[in-house]
Amino acid sequence: MEENKIKLWNRIQRGMEAGFDAAMSAVHTITEKAGEGIELTRLRREKARLETQVTRRLAELGNAVFEKVSKDRLDEITEKLEIKDMVLEIALDEARMVDIDRRLNKELEK
C-alpha cells in the first residue's frame, strides 16, 4: 500500500512539474509575442512619422521651387523639368483662391 502511495505521489509530482513547465513555456511565448507586438507598433509609428516628415519636406521643397520659378520667371527650367503646366495650374488655383477670398470678404461685410 505504501508503495502505491509513493507511485501516486510521483505521478502527481511529475504531472505538476509538467504543468508548471507548460505554464512557464506559455508565459515565455506570450511575453515574447507581446514584445514582438510592441516592437512592431514602435516600428510602424516610426515609419509613419518619417513618412509625414518626408511629405512635409517635399511640400516645402516644392513650394520653394514654385516660388523661385514664379518670381524669376524661369520658363526654360520649368520646360526642362516638364513642370511648366503644373506651375501654371498652381498659379491659376492661387488666383482663384485670391478671388474667392475677396468674394468671401465682400459677403461678410454685408
Residues of the chain with pLDDT > 90: what percent? 13
Q: Write out the H or E segment, with its range, that includes residue 86.
A: helix 84-109
pLDDT over 90 at 96, yes or no: yes
Query: What is the average per-residue pLDDT within 53-57?
Result: 89
pLDDT band at 9 (very low <50, low <70, confident <90, very high): low
Q: Provide the whole-model pTM.
A: 0.51
